[in-house]
Amino acid sequence: MCGIVGYLGKKNTKEILLDGLKELEYRGYDSAGIAVLQDNQFDSFKAVGKLVNLEEKTKDFVTENFAVGIGHTRWATHGKPTELNAHPHLGDSSYVVHNGIIENYATLKKELMDDGVRFLSQTDTEVIVHQFEKNLKSAENAFEAFAKTIHELKGAYAILLVTKSEDKTIFFAKHGSPMLVGINGENKVSSPEREGSLGYEKYFASSDAPLIGHCSDVNYFEDGDYGYVTADELAIFSKNGDKKKPNFSKLSTNKLSAQKDGYRFFMEKEIYEQSTVIADTLMGRVGDDEILFDEIDSSLFDGIHEIKLSACGTSYHSALSASYLFERYSKIKTSVEVASEFRYRSPVMTKDTLFVVISQSGETADTLETLKMAKEAGLKTLVICNVDNSSMVRLADATILTRAGIEKGVASTKAFATQVAVFWMMSLYLAKLRNSLEANEIARQVSLLREIPTSVKVTDAMHEKIKRLSKRYLHGHGFFFIGRDIFYPLALEGALKLKEISYLHAEGYPSGEMKHGPIALADPELFTIALLPQHLLYEKAKSNVEELSARDSTICAISPIEFDKADDFIQTTVCKDYMLEFFEMMVVVQLFSLEISVRLGNDVDMPRNLAKSVTVE
């Protein structure tokens, strides 16, 4: 998740921008930069790595008069983490910073390059500033050029732009990525001739934290909002071009709460963020009736007759989920390895196997070692990862980023969700390449993919139900999470989530395996969380659960279909496809673990004995 800051006023612009970026560090980043326009003179600085590198570069830079300035921390989605790709991006006499993904950047970039524009970066963002300057040539003024540019963009964005052509103004636009503007009401300058005067300074940020201590009142922009600020004015226009009044609210003063966006834990925030980050993960990759991965070349799959996936923990569960999709849709032999086992079992590897490692951090020692083994054996390698400049990304032949943004909670949630979303896309991408699915079936599934963000949206009713229900599951001699087919890896993931943050014992099991021994444990103190999707082996799974219920095991059924033999029942929505049921049930088991952990008084975000990235064996 990138971070944006902006400032207009007479205070120390450089310090305000750098301090603001520091407040956004928690969102994760791999590079940062600022651009300041004072006395119609631009100064811009960018640095890869931590903010201290940027501070070092700006140490001799002084801002003491009126200035406009913008700043950015970048989490790479398009283009490697380099200085050239860091924001702000420069046109001829304008700079821009941007959060989000410009879906039509390739088209705009081609048109601009055909007009002779030279691009310095690999980013989608850079097209914004060049498109603005192209429009500036024919517009009446900078705002007209900016408005035209915004209406030409498709995708998600939060944008700040400054330009010499109006050097006492900051232009802004928001659609799909958060941004707010703040003022300090105490120093409000009210004078009759200044229509809408709101106080001299204007502050921008992509979340509350950077404005705390500077602003008393903030306006959260809505999708479609765009406009400009000057010392005298805040002009906001809705997407249909109508001017609208700011809607100010008081700014919270608690920075940690602000970083959690008001949620109790980062893990809770990240569960709620899944809808947004999955939308980001799909952005630019889900075509009308096909999947597009512009970050890989289809030749990666030439001569490939098998896929082997290697990962640990939650990433192993997403890999297991992928194996069902690859064999079912891509019709390609797929195997899955626990990395720590694979390392030492003298595995046989053949060059017609694509070796895929999955890792949120890209640093997990066991997984990284298996990647090295595959490369040494001459296999083609692909990494599905959330961190662009990680060890695995630097080592693999190809990378598909999950765009989940930083995941602060040690127990993984949104990273898992985006990994499975990538694998679903990849199974369809491969199905087209291998002609293993009819075009209309691929098109049908592509349209289903677009519904994932809706399927993972947390409703108050669902969360409240799980919160209430969780009080009954704080003891017992253990939990079974059971599911069939691709719901078996989800059962494993649900069990892991519970273990990690509640410290209660839980096992994930294929539903059909219960009668092969585990059912001996069935009694009222054994809690079974049963995943019963409507669209995948429902009757089979239901009869497995009935076997447990008949032996007085305490059952919590998760299903769109009423199940009268359960002690507790969490009703999910009737979906069109089992994969949408998968994502909705994923949220249920995540919240279930969270609420039990909260009731037990555990540290949800930093559970005992665990590290976010296991970089040792």
Nearest-approach distance from CB 416 to ligand AGP, in angstroms: 7
Do you know the residue count of the chain? Answer: 617
Q: Which of 164, 333, 372, 612 is catalytic?
A: 612
Q: Does residue 9 sit in helix, strand or coil?
A: strand
Which residue type is seen at 269?
Answer: K
Nearest-approach distance from CB 273 to ligand AGP, in angstroms: 16
How many CB atoms within 10 Å of residue 119? 14
Handedness of CA 429, 433, 436, 437 (dihedral sign): positive
Nearer to ligand AGP, 175 or 497 (CB): 497
Nearest-approach distance from CB 356 to ligand AGP, in angstroms: 13
Q: Where are the alpha helices (DSSP H) in 293-364?
A: 313-325, 339-342
Q: Does residue 207 sit in helix, strand or coil?
A: coil
Per the annotation, the verdict on 333 as an active-site residue is: no
Question: Measured between alpha carbons, how far is 482 from 494 in angstroms, rounded to an integer?
Answer: 9
Tokens of 487: 């719901």
Nearer to ligand AGP, 304 or 600 (CB): 600
Nearer to ligand AGP, 361 or 427 (CB): 361
Nearest-approach distance from CB 396 to ligand AGP, in angstroms: 13
Are 275 and 404 in contact, with CB atoms under 8 Å apart?
Answer: no
Are 326 and 430 in contact, with CB atoms under 8 Å apart?
Answer: yes
Residue whose C-beta lies closest to ligand AGP: 313
Q: Which of 2, 215, 556, 575 is catalytic?
A: 2
Nearest-approach distance from CB 62 to ligand AGP, in angstroms: 42
Tell me how far the alpha carbon of residue 143 is from its chain's centroid. 32
Tell me how far the alpha carbon of residue 197 is from its chain's centroid. 37
Please report the DSSP string for 47-78 in residue order. Answer: EESSHHHHHHHTTT----SSEEEEEEEE--SS
Nearest-approach distance from CB 391 to ligand AGP, in angstroms: 11
Nearer to ligand AGP, 308 or 542 (CB): 308
Tell me how far the alpha carbon of residue 341 is from its chain's centroid. 30
Per the annotation, the verdict on 385 as an active-site residue is: no
Query: In terms of Cα–Cα distance, which of 480, 420, 482, 407 is closest to 455?
Result: 420
88 cis-preceded (ω within 30 degrees of 0): yes
Query: In terms of Cα–Cα distance, which of 47, 76, 58 is closest to 13?
Result: 58
Nearer to ligand AGP, 235 or 411 (CB): 411
Tokens of 465: 């139900």
Tokens of 342: 């694979």
Q: In the sheet that 243-244 helps form, which strands lie side by side, from edge to edge?
A: 89-90, 94-102, 155-163, 166-175, 226-229, 234-237, 243-244
Nearer to ligand AGP, 173 or 411 (CB): 411
Nearest-approach distance from CB 372 to ligand AGP, in angstroms: 15
- Which residues contribute to the site for ligand AGP (CB under 6 A)? 312-315, 359-361, 364, 367, 410-412, 500, 613-614
Nearer to ligand AGP, 8 or 496 (CB): 496
Could you give the residue numbers annotated as active site? 2, 612
